[in-house]
Amino acid sequence: MKKGDLIYAPADVMLCKFGKETDGSKNSTVSSYLKLVKPAHLLYIEEETHLYEVLYEDDKWFVKKKEVYEVKDE
């Protein structure tokens, strides 16, 4: 996947944000979360081990890879 690709997220998928360390790096503590009420298309930013960083409603979030689907060109 490349930056800017679309990801489909079904309803009830959880998006989360992580806290920051004093040096600015991300830590493993969830600082906020959002449960999608309806399905949504997310904009792919970056990939981590088991998470995607995505853009949703002008904000960056993380979502579990196994809970979403890549939108492919037909």
CATH topology for 6-70?
Answer: SH3 type barrels. (2.30.30)
Residue 68 contacts residue 13 (beta carbons within 8 Å): yes
Residue spans per domain, the chain:
6-70
User: pTM to 2 decimals?
Assistant: 0.87
d(CA 63, CA 13): 8
Question: What confidence tens digit (pLDDT) does each residue in 20-65 have?
Answer: 776 766 777 888 999 999 999 999 999 988 999 999 999 999 999 9
